[in-house]
Amino acid sequence: MLRFNVRGENIEVTDAIRNYVEKKVGKLERYFSTAPEATAHINLKVYPDKTAKVEVTIPLPYIVLRAEETSPDLYASADLVVDKLERQIRKFKTKINRKSRGKSAIEAEAVASFMKEEAGTESAEQTSEFDIVRTKRLSLKPMDSEEAVLQMNMLGHNFFIFEDAETNGTSIVYQRKDGKYGLIETD
């Protein structure tokens, strides 16, 4: 079951807003055969130009779901974010179903049993000496480079760190300026 951590920036999170967002994001549970034990981090922002931004991050065992959307209406932003997250889940499910045909039955069943999917936690810290404005902690999950590229694209990042399932070493995939992907392997 999803737990919710709803924060507001430049806005007071009323019970009506909290209930609406939790209800919308809670609908994502229908995509999982087992209820995930995860916390949905929801950040609501209102800018001076009266636009509202909704960011949702849900770290799950096989994937990190993340989406953000900005629009003139806070409730519309929440609806759009949930739509994005649903597309991400469907895309990941399709990819896993295709890949699981070639993998061992046990490995495929582990991912498929969770889906009806998904690694990391975030924390913000500030250090004045080196101007580090954010620290992220992740637990690296074994995966191949294709899965890492999929994860990177779902997060909207231009690089992704993962544990290579074949070599058990830490690797990094990144998107090049020409739109193709690169892989950095460590010893």
For residue 130, being part of any structural domain is answered with: no
**Closest among 25, 7, 158 to 84, alpha carbons compared:** 25
Instruction: Tell whether 114 is covered by a domain.
Output: yes
* The model's pTM: 0.56
Nearest to 118 by CA among 110, 126, 127: 110
Would residue 141 count as lying in a domain?
A: no
Cα separation, 24 vs 30, in Å, equals: 12
Q: Report the pLDDT value the prediction gives residue 80, as an integer from 0 to 100.
A: 92
- Per-residue pLDDT tens, the chain, 187 aa: give them: 678 888 888 888 889 998 999 899 888 888 776 656 777 788 888 888 889 999 988 887 777 888 889 999 989 999 999 999 888 888 887 777 776 665 554 555 555 555 553 333 333 333 345 667 777 777 788 888 888 898 888 888 888 899 988 888 899 999 988 889 999 988 7
Domain limits for position 38: 2-118
Is residue 180, in this structure, part of any structural domain at all?
Answer: no
Q: What is the pLDDT of residue 1?
A: 67
Residue 97 lies in a domain: yes
Does the residue 131 lie in any domain? no
The reported pLDDT for the residue numbered 129 is: 52
CATH number for position 70? 3.30.160.100
Q: H helices of the chain, where? A: 15-26, 74-100, 105-114, 145-155
In a domain? residue 167: no
Distance CA 81, CA 86 (A): 9
User: What is the count of structural domains for the chain?
Assistant: 1
Residue 95 included in any domain: yes
